[in-house]
Amino acid sequence: MEKTRAEIVLPTSNLAEDIAFFTRKLGFRMEAIFPADDPKVAVFTGHGTRFRLDSDAEGQVGALRLLTESDHELGKFGAGMQAPGGLMVEFAPLNPKVEVPPTQHEFVVRRLQDRAPWVIGRAGMHYRDLVPSRLGGAMIASHIRIPDGGPVPDMVHFHKVGFQLIFCYRGWVDVLYEDQGDIRRLNAGDCFIQPPEIRHRVIEASEGIEVIEIGVPADHVTEIDHDMTLPTPHYRPDREWSGQRFVHNLAAGADWKPFRIPGLVARDTTIGENTKGMASVLVVRKGSGDIPWVRHDGDILFGFLMDGTMTLQGEGQPDHSLTPGDAFVIPPGMKTRFSSVSNDLEFLEVSLPAEFETRAI
C-alpha cells in the first residue's frame, strides 16, 4: 500500500535566512533542500507539523502558529515574529484557560412557536438557540434534537468548558464517559453534568430524542481524542475534573422540597454540590399557596418550560404566556412573577452561581 504524507506549502522570499531561523531559533528540523546548486525549496518538520518553504510558490504569505505550555517561550517571543522570508510566526498557549466574559444581563423570552431555525451541528444533531445574545458570551443554551433514532455517528471527544449540563427533555440517549463505567442511559427528566474535559461519546438515541444543553462560556472548544477508547477500564466515581465531579441524576424517586419562591416545589439534581457551588440545576413544579413577586441577585438565571403553562410577568415588560419548549432568562434585580400556573407545570431552572438570594416583594 502506498504511503501518503501531507505538507503545507508556504512562500518565502529569503530561503537562506529562513533555514537558520526555523532550525536554530524555533527548533524545527530540515528534512530536504533542493536544488543543490541554488536552493529554492526546503522542507521542515517539528512541533507536530510538516511544511515546505518554496521560493517560487505564489499566494499570500500566511502564518504558522506554535502552541506551547512554556510561559518562558510566550514571554520571550511575545505574540509573534516574522521570519526573514515573510512568514508570520504566532505563539499561543497550548492549553489556554477557560475565560468566562462578564454577563451582559437582559430579560429574554424565547418561544418555540416563534419558529427559530434549527441548525445542523456536530454529529448531525439539530440545534435551536434559546438565548441568541448568549448574554455577551457568558453562556449558551441549546435545544438539541436527533430526529431519527438509532446509532449516533459520534467520536470520543471533550469540551474545554467551565460548566456543561445535558438535561434530557424527551426520549432517551446512551452515552459513554471516561472512568464512569459502561453505557449510561439518560431518560426524560434525567441529567448529566459533564465536567471540563471529561472524554465521552454519544452511542445511540431514541427516535425524537430532545435535550437541553447549557454551556459556560458560550464559545468553547470541542476536541476529538483519537487515542482513548471508551469505556475505560477503571470505574472512578469520585474523580474530579477541574474541581467538578460527573453527575448522572435520575428523575425517578426524586425528593420534592419547597422552592426558593413560595407556591412552588423543586427537586435538586446535586449539581450545586458536585460543582462546588458553581451552578445549580433544579426541576420545579407547582406547589400550594400564592406565588409572590420576587427579585433575585444571582448572575445567570435560566428557565425552560417542559410541561404545563404559566405566565411570566416582568417589571416594565408585557406578560408572556409560556408553553412547553419556551425558554427565559431573568436578570438580577428585576421584579418578576410566575402567574396563571397550571397544575401540571414543570420547568427546568439553571442558575450560576448555585447560591443566591431571592426576596419576595
Mean pLDDT of the chain: 94
pLDDT in tens, 240-252: 999 999 999 999 9
Is residue 148 over pLDDT 90? Answer: no
Is residue 28 over pLDDT 80? Answer: yes
What string of DSSP letters covers 24-64? IIT--EEEEEE-SSS--EEEEEETTEEEEEETT--S---EE
pLDDT in tens, 88-121: 999 888 888 889 999 999 999 999 988 777 888 7
Is residue 329 over pLDDT 80? Answer: yes
Give Cα separations from 129 to 39, 141, 145 (angstroms): 54, 6, 12
C-alpha atoms less than 13 angstroms from C-alpha of 25 in its C-beta half-sphere: 15
Among left, alpha and beta (phi > 0; psi -120 to 50; other), residue 227 is: alpha
Q: What is the DSSP letter of 86?
A: S
Whose grid coordinates read 419562591?
Answer: 261
The torsion angles phi and psi of 254, rounded to 5 degrees, stand at -65, 150
pLDDT in tens, 72-93: 666 666 678 999 999 999 988 8
pTM over 0.85: yes
How would you label 264-292 residue by residue, b for 16+ Cβ within 10 Å and e otherwise? bebbbbebbebbeebbbbbbbbbbeeebe
Q: What is the DSSP letter of 76?
A: H
pLDDT in tens, 277-288: 999 999 999 999
pLDDT of residue 170: 96
> When comparing pLDDT for 4 and 130, which is higher?
130
Is residue 236 over pLDDT 90? Answer: yes
List of domains in the chain: 8-93 (3.10.180.10), 109-248 (2.60.120.10), 257-360 (2.60.120.10)
The residues, ordered by sequence, that sit 6+ positions from 85 with a Cβ below 8 Å of its Cβ are 11, 12, 13, 14, 15, 17, 18, 53
| Three-state DSSP class for residue 73 | helix
